[in-house]
Amino acid sequence: MAAPAIVRCTNCGKKNRIAVAARGTPRCSVCHTPLPWIVEADAQDFASAIDADVPVLVDFWAEWCGPCRMISPVVERLGHNLAGRLKIVKLDVDGAPEIAARHGAQSIPLLILFSDGEEIDRLVGAVPEPRLRQWLEPHLSPAAGTPSS
């Protein structure tokens, strides 16, 4: 099983432990600010990692993949910017080939968006951040405190 991630709160600086699988959305233990939910999953915890209360963006990647290394910081930046609205799960296809095969990861980087554990959309290749955000936005709920139209 993948180890919990340690995330520093962008508001107060407190280090928080973030579980790979949990209900709700992670918040700082001190100031309760939404935390970026960016975790690494493995074959054992993948099914529970994609079952969340917010949409889950799975980044299928490999260490040897140049385009994967290009898009990884973009995905992580979006995870920080969309804290409380999106969960990021990183899955190394070399470490979990059966999960990659089950989801048809024939080309990487592959980004698959899940809602309630079910695939709702996918995007293949390294795309610029504005394109990735445009692709994600229709699937995200409004930020807390933001009026919905």
| b/e 15-29 (16+ beta carbons within 10 angstroms → b) | ebebbbbbeebbebe
Q: What is the pTM of this model?
A: 0.90
Q: From the candidates 9, 12, 28, 68, which is the catalytic residue?
A: 68
Cβ neighbours of residue 10 closer than 8 Å, sequence gap 6 or more:
33, 36, 80, 83
Among this protein's residues, is 31 annotated catalytic? no
CATH class of 37-139: alpha beta
Question: What are the residue ranges spanned by the domains of the chain?
Answer: 37-139
Among this protein's residues, is 65 annotated catalytic? yes
Q: Are 113 and 63 in contact (CB under 8 A)?
A: no
pLDDT, one tens digit per residue, over 59-90 is: 999 999 999 999 999 999 999 999 999 999 99
